[in-house]
């Protein structure tokens, strides 16, 4: 790579895994002092380049500055600070209590780095989804390659520049490019692969990882449903659902994809959504003052629009388009289960409302489908909340809000089944890149004890009785 370029040639990429492995084998990334120093540098990287990162996010996807701050910069910085504040404790070997008769054996669990990690990130939150996992890798003592998405090229180029400037180049490297470059990386053996993106590529990653029996964290997508119960506060529910839907123009893995609403409250819920929309956007969203983002590229825009054009539902709000990448927040009612909007993750600012007779019907529909990344339910009925815990499966279950779970780093974040496996955030990020290695030291002096003598052949009845 020449110093101004943010891209490696294929030949250079081929050499990177061996370089990282050499660094790992040297033990350089192991001392907690080194990890701390890199985390401090990493924190400086985020803080000192805040404006440049916000600008890059604006350029790639029109991301409003507020969303860039709250959803990309703050969570990245928080994960770095959390790791810095806790790394000593997380990395400390733990003495395990054992049964009395084994109490003089040394029984420890060492949290050791898995080794060299590959982090593959998508375009929708291109900064935080590349760097939040990296905080875990650094804290765990793993060198890492970060592969940003080619669809957010400004953030990808900036990421390469900043990592080279702030972090140890022998241990942390950004490799930019698309499928050919990622394929080269995936053909090498890694000790952990952390992939965030769509489930189709998730399967490719899982397959290549299986060749080397490499562990993976797969943070995938899917259709995350909302269940609205009759007892909910309709006004707050509408506001919180719409708020989740408009984040990043619906291009959010935990976006409330579609809403199951009992028929009896659909009119009230729809009107409340319209009021929330009027409050959020007093002017047309395409007006400059509204800071409304865009679909990442024309192909994605066209895919979302195709779903909207094919729906048999009624557009009760929005539906407008500007240019070839901007879609206004859109609400569609009367959606049947086999509608075009129900075929795939929408990943755009379109909210379909599916009429159900009651919440039981919604629970059954969710329970029979693939397990989503998150289920949102709006209800204060504790019995219903317990039923949702018992009868459905998903990465997370969030009651009475949307999207906010991404700020609760104390809870593990991740999918389940079709929406992925493995978790991260806070201590869970450290754990994703850490192997818990058992250490057992059995004193040789014990060989003279009756128990040890009895274990060696020839076996005797006396030994058996002991
Ligand atoms: P994307 O197209 O940027 O792809 C993700 C990464 O995979 C990129 O780095 C890309 O270069 C790489 N890639 C693409 N095709 C590949 C191939 N054939 N072989 C190897 N690597 C390949 O992003 P995307 O997948 O469109 O992202 C959106 C999806 O990600 C949605 O489904 C969304 O729900 C999901 N997502 C999940 C989370 C989560 O935390 N669970 C977060 C964000 C997005």
List the domain boundaries for the chain.
10-221+424-435, 225-411
For the domain bounded by 10-221+424-435, which CATH number is listed? Answer: 3.40.605.10
Class of domain 225-411: alpha beta
Could you tell which of 198, 225, 395, 407 is best to mutate to test the pocket of ligand 1, judged by most ligand atoms within 8 Å of the CB? 198
Q: What number of other Cβ atoms are within 10 A of residue 284's Cβ?
A: 12
Confidence (pLDDT) at 1: 55
Provide DSSP, 185-228: HHTS--SEEEEES-HHHHHHHHHHHHHTT-EEEEE----EEEEE
| ipTM of this predicted structure | 0.97
Q: What is the pLDDT of residue 266?
A: 98
Distance CA 466, CA 447 (A): 15
Residue 462: the pLDDT is 81
Q: Which one of 72, 116, 253, 418 is the catalytic residue?
A: 253
SS3 280: helix
Residue pLDDT, tens place only, 233-261: 999 999 999 999 999 999 999 999 999 99
pLDDT number for residue 259? 98
- Model confidence pLDDT, tens digit, residues 15-73: 999 999 999 999 999 999 999 999 999 999 999 999 999 999 999 999 999 999 999 99
Cα pseudo-dihedral 117, 122, 125, 130, rounded to 10? 10
Give Cα 162 to chain centroid, integer Å: 22
Pocket flag, ligand 1, residue 219 (CB < 6 Å): yes
Q: Are the C-beta atoms of 193 and 202 separated by less than 8 Å?
A: no
Rounded CA-CA distance 372/226 in Å is: 11
Burial 378-411 (b: 16+ CB within 10 A, else e): bbeeeebbeebeeebbbbbbbbbebbebbeebee
What is the structure's pLDDT at 461? 87
Residue 465 confidence (pLDDT)? 79
Sign of CA dihedral 27, 33, 37, 42: positive
Residue of 219, 232, 249, 418 marked active site: 219
Kindly give the distance from the C-alpha atom of residue 121 to the centroid of ligand 1, in angstroms, as a whole number.
6
Average confidence (pLDDT) per 10 residues, the chain, 466 residues:
74 98 98 98 98 98 96 98 98 96 96 98 98 98 98 98 98 98 98 97 98 98 96 98 98 98 98 98 93 95 97 98 96 98 97 97 97 98 97 98 96 97 98 98 95 92 79
The radius of gyration of the chain's CA atoms, rounded to the nearest angstrom, is 25
Pocket flag, ligand 1, residue 295 (CB < 6 Å): no
Q: Enumerate residues 6+ apart whose C-beta is below 8 A from 459.
A: none
Please give the order of strands across the beta sheet that includes 144-147. Answer: 172-174, 144-147, 117-120, 192-196, 215-219, 420-421
């Amino acid at each position: 790579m020449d110093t101004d370029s943010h891209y490696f040639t294929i030949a250079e990429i081929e050499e990177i895994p061996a370089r990282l492995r050499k660094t790992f084998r040297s033990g350089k990334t192991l001392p907690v002092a080194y990890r701390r120093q890199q985390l401090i540098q990493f924190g400086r990287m985020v803080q000192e380049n805040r404006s440049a990162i916000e600008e890059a996010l604006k350029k790639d996807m029109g991301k409003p500055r507020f969303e860039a701050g709250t959803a990309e910069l703050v969570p990245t910085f928080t994960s770095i600070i959390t790791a810095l504040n806790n790394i000593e404790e997380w990395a400390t070997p733990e003495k395990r209590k054992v049964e009395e008769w084994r109490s003089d054996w040394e029984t420890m669990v060492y949290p050791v780095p898995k080794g060299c990690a590959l982090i593959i990130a998508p375009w929708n939150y291109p900064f935080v989804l590349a760097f939040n996992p990296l905080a875990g890798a650094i804290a765990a003592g793993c060198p890492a390659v970060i592969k940003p998405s080619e669809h957010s090229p400004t953030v990808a180029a900036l990421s390469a520049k900043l990592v080279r400037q702030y972090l140890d180049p022998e241990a942390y490297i950004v490799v930019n490019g698309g499928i050919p470059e990622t394929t080269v990386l995936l053909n090498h053996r890694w000790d952990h692969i952390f992939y965030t993106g769509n489930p189709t590529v998730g399967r490719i990653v899982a397959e290549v990882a299986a060749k080397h029996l490499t562990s993976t964290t797969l943070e995938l997508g899917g259709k995350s449903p909302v269940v609205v119960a009759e007892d909910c506060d309709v006004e707050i529910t509408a506001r919180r659902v719409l708020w989740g839907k408009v984040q990043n123009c619906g291009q959010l893995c935990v976006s409330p994809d579609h809403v199951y609403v009992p028929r009896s409250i659909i009119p009230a819920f729809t009107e409340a959504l319209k009021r929330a929309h009027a409050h959020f956007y007093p002017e047309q969203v395409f007006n400059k003052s509204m800071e409304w983002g865009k679909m990442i590229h024309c192909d994605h825009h066209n895919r979302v629009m195709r779903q909207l054009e094919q729906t048999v539902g009624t557009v009760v709000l929005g539906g407008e388009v500007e240019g070839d990448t901007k879609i206004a927040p859109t609400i569609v009612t009367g959606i049947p289960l086999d509608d075009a909007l129900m075929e795939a993750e929408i990943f755009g600012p379109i909210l379909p409302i599916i009429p159900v007779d009651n919440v039981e019907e919604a629970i059954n529909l969710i329970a029979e489908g693939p397990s989503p990344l998150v289920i949102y339910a709006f209800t204060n009925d504790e019995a219903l909340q317990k039923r949702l815990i018992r009868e459905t499966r998903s990465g997370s279950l969030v009651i009475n809000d949307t999207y906010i779970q991404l700020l609760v780093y104390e809870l593990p974040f991740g999918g389940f089944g079709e929406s992925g496996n493995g978790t991260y955030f806070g201590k869970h990020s450290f754990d994703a890149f850490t192997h818990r290695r058992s250490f057992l030291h059995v004193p040789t002096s014990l060989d003279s004890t009756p128990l040890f003598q009895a274990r060696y052949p020839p076996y005797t009845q006396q030994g058996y009785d002991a």
